[in-house]
Amino acid sequence: MAWTVWDRWTITGNITLRELLDWLKEKGLNAYSISCGTSLLYNSMFPRHKERLDKKVVDVAREVAKVEVPPYRRHLDIVVACEDDDDNDVDIPLVSIYFRGSSSSKKIEIRTEMEAWIIRVVYFIVFSFLVSARFGSSAPYSEEAVATAIYLLFSRRKKDNTVKPWATGLSGQLKKAFVTGVPSLERAELEAACEGFINVVGILPECTLYKGTLSSGVEIAVLSTSVNSAQQWSAQSEEQFRNKISVLSKVNHKNFMNLLGYCACDEPFTRMMVFEYTPCGSLFEHLHIREAEHLDWKTRLRIIMGVAYCLEHMSQLDPPSLLPTNLSTSCIYLTEDYAAKIADIEFWKDDNKHDAASSRETQISQESVVYKFGILLLEVISGRRPISEDDRLLVLWASSYLDGKRPLSAMADRTLVRSSSAAPEKDVAALCDVVRQCVRPEAGKRAISMGEVATLVREVAGLSPEQAAPRENPLWWAELEIASSETG
């Protein structure tokens, strides 16, 4: 490949990753994809695929520049996918981006990987000398000093309890949340948890998403409106905000990104909602983005089983208070053990109107969710996007398989076929039968309920609600901590 390692560059951190990719092409590197070795780009919870390359470099660097991490660890490893002279795909560990200065810094430094290791060696020597002096050893570098230096340089300790916004006053509120309602939180508490609101993990047209950390180490997601003054916040907006909190508080399911609290104050103007945080990205990313970790068949079965159980629970609320209208793999996020969590969804709102029109709307909503779950099943089985690059709908592409004109085994995701975790033909056939019952074009024939869908999927997956739920759920960690502290 006609490419050599470059010397150090200093670039403006305000350029996007897409612009950085174009800049690399101008330097002679035939690059077509850029990813982050720390997985923050494709494993972050909120950014969608289309927004991934539109993130500014300095914002990505800030995500890994945690306050408690020493300066030499504040870097972002970049991997560039490109083609060599023979048109073969090659992944090059290109550079490390070091974030320098305060959180308001406008520049970053880019250094070669070799230079990054030289820096580590220098720090190793310095730390070894300092620790050796601390132990009072007569040798220039004692064994204790070397061991301690290695630990300081290369260990990845979990975050200590350095952020303590909710150390007092909130535990009792959170424990009562599912009994008396959703707790109202102080802005100062959330600001401390989000380290001054610098941990931005997503920006949407009407809101900003932050990542925060409780004193126990439990991670949270904070959704804040982009409106920054009461004059711009209408009475209707306030009513919708309150209604959404009321609606979300009625869902308490382990496969749903549960609401933990909200913040409403006028000085400074604040409207926020606090949710659980899921660290492993969206299902869409794992199915369709090359850099993300691909999911084996058992994991996919567990994910769709968790989604089915959650939707069944939501459809059985009396009266049905909410149902997702934009159900897709983009709003299903994965926990550390790759269990599903439905999130970032809009809802059909029940205004307690029991007339014929309201009843019909609820029926249509439930049928729509069943239909979209069928599309989601197709996406998980095939690994294909709901709408392809040539604007072809997935359901139309799959029709020849579902109608028996082509073998069902041929529609399975190619990454599964190439791996040791191929999808069993009987599983594919059984799930395709569920798909047929979900996506029939005539609305009158789509009479199957989410409860029936969940039963059919369980016959294939063989997983109980407990097995499909996250094994370590942050919400239950928090409740356990609260119960322990109150007992003590």
List pLDDT tens digits, range 88-137: 555 454 444 443 333 333 333 444 344 445 555 565 666 666 656 655 55
How far is 42 from 14, CA to CA, in rounded Å?
Answer: 20
pLDDT band at 171 (very low <50, low <70, confident <90, very high): very low
Cα–Cα distance for residue pair 34/131, rounded to 1 Å: 39
pLDDT at 452: 95
Mean pLDDT rounded to a whole number for the chain? 69
> In this predicted structure, what is the pLDDT of residue 454?
97
- CATH code given to domain 171-277: 3.30.200.20
Question: How confident is residue 351, by pLDDT bands cut at 50, 70 and 90?
Answer: very low
Helix runs in 316-413, H state only: 356-382, 394-402
HSE of 252 in the Cβ direction (CA atoms, 13 Å)? 11
Reported as a single tens digit per residue, the pLDDT across 456-472 is: 999 999 999 999 999 86
Rounded Cα gap, residues 307 and 123, in angstroms: 47
Instruction: Specify the fold of 9-121.
Output: 3.10.290
Residue 398 has a pLDDT of 92
Mention every residue, 6+ apart, whose C-beta is less than 8 A from residue 23.
11, 15
Residue 32 tokens read as 């077509």
CA distances (Å), origin 20, targets 23, 32, 58, 160, 447: 5, 11, 12, 34, 51
pTM here is 0.60
pLDDT for 450 beyond 90: yes
What is the tens place of the pLDDT at every residue in 46-70?
A: 333 445 677 776 666 555 444 333 3
Q: Which residues pair with 266 in a beta bridge?
A: 269
Helix axes of 297-315 and 450-461: crossing angle, nearest 10 degrees: 160
- CATH number for the region 283-468 comes to 1.10.510.10
Residue 174 near residue 183, CB atoms below 8 Å: yes
pLDDT digits (tens, 9 = 90+) for 236-254: 888 888 888 888 888 889 9
What pLDDT is stored for residue 440 in this prediction?
74
- Please compute the mean of the pLDDT values over residues 138-148 and round it to a whole number: 50
Structural domain spans, the chain: 9-121, 125-154, 171-277, 283-468
